[in-house]
Chain A
Amino acid sequence: EADIYQTPRYLVIGTGKKITLECSQTMGHDKMYWYQQDPGMELHLIHYSYGVNSTEKGDLSSESTVSRIRTEHFPLTLESARPSHTSQYLCASQGGQHGDTQYFGPGTRLTVL
């Protein structure tokens, strides 16, 4: 299994603030993903990366941006948070057995007031 970490776990912030959600993994996986999930709903892919300096937008349009300067680190940034960004953000890395399973971090619950 992957060891994958996300900080903060919970964040309440005002409109217009810049925020960065951190995601890191210790398994050396090249592939990493960001998903957005509203409570009790399905997951939507917003960004993914296949390695250092590789980033792509996912299926759900998002105003956030990502970077991948190091293999283990895949942060997500919102330049100007809005109430519509209120959601849970889940980071995942992919590798290992079981068909190259995606392993998820604990998530960040973001509330924008």
Chain B
Amino acid sequence: AQKITQTQPGMFVQEKEAVTLDCTYDTSDQSYGLFWYKQPSSGEMIFLIYQGSYDEQNATEGRYSLNFQKARKSANLVISASQLGDSAMYFCAMREFPYNTDKLIFGTGTRLQVFP
């Protein structure tokens, strides 16, 4: 069965520093997608970045990059040059392809706090 594990309940980082949020996953499929979402205190879920299992390069979106290590089944999110507005919950999620169920499986999240 699919499973997403986020082992860091909370992380602190100083403004302008980089931070890595960990995510490991478990799947028996060869084809799948990995997603990261940000959830500020206002509650909405904001899509950040996507990595396909067959993508050869790590995904990047602005200050966000995904450190994808397929053999280790990890998909860590790296935020460079942290800003105060990055303080939020961050969720890792996975979906297997083909779309057997089209469901996203979410991890339990990591709360990131950026301090000045």
Contacts and interface: CB of A to CB of B under 8 A. Distances in A.
Interface of A: 1, 31, 33, 40-43, 45, 48, 50, 58-59, 88, 90, 92, 94, 98-107, 109
Contact of A103 (B43, B47, B109): B47
A31 B108 CA distance: 24
Nearest to A101: B47
B102 interface: yes
Interface residues of B, number: 24
B43 A99 contact: no
A42 B111 contact: no
26 contacts: A1-B47, A31-B102, A40-B109, A40-B111, A41-B108, A41-B109, A43-B45, A43-B106, A50-B102, A59-B103, A90-B44, A92-B45, A94-B102, A98-B50, A99-B33, A99-B35, A100-B33, A100-B102, A102-B47, A104-B37, A104-B44, A104-B46, A106-B43, A106-B44, A107-B45, A109-B43
A42 B91 contact: yes
Given A41-B109, A43-B91, 15 more contacts: A1-B47, A40-B89, A43-B45, A43-B106, A48-B103, A59-B103, A90-B43, A92-B45, A94-B102, A100-B102, A102-B35, A103-B47, A104-B46, A104-B47, A107-B45
Interface string B83-116: 0000001010001010100111011110100000
Contacts, number: 63
Contacts of B50: 98-99, 101
Contacts of A106: 42-44
B107 A42 contact: yes
Contacts of B33: 99-100
B98 to A, nearest CB: 11
Nearest to B99: A100
A99 B47 CA distance: 12
A88 B43 contact: yes
Contacts of B47: 1, 98, 101-104
A50 B106 CA distance: 20
